[in-house]
Amino acid sequence: MAKNLPAGSSFFQRRRLMVTILAVLVSVGLLGTTLIPLLTAVPSGSQQAGGGQEYSQQAEEQSKLDAVKLYEGITVEEPANVQAWLNLGHARHDLGVVYLKTGKADLGVDYFRQAVTAYEKVLELQPEDVNTRVMLATVAYYAGMADTAENHFKLALAQDPGNLNVYLNYGLFLLEVRQDPAAAKGVWEQALALNPPSNTVKYIKKMIESATVAGEPPTGKAE
Asked if 12 contacts 39 with a C-beta cutoff of 8 angstroms, the reply is: yes
> What domains are defined for the chain?
16-41+55-214 (1.25.40.10)
Q: Output the pLDDT for position 39.
A: 43
Distance (Å, whole) CA 168 – CA 191: 7
Asked if residue 113 lies in contact with residue 92, where contact means CB atoms within 8 angstroms, the answer is no
Going 56 to 58 to 61 to 63, the CA torsion angle's sign is negative
Q: DSSP characters for 81-92? A: -HHHHHHHHHHH
Are the C-beta atoms of residues 62 and 91 closer than 8 Å to each other?
Answer: no
Contact 44, 9 (CB under 8 A): no
Alpha carbon of residue 3 to chain centroid: 16
Digits of tens for pLDDT over the chain (223 positions)?
Answer: 334 444 443 344 344 444 434 444 444 444 444 444 444 343 344 444 455 666 688 899 999 999 999 999 999 999 999 999 999 999 999 999 999 988 999 999 999 999 999 999 999 999 999 999 999 999 998 899 999 999 999 999 999 999 998 999 899 999 989 999 999 999 999 999 999 998 889 889 999 998 999 888 866 554 4
Q: Residue 21: what residue type?
A: I
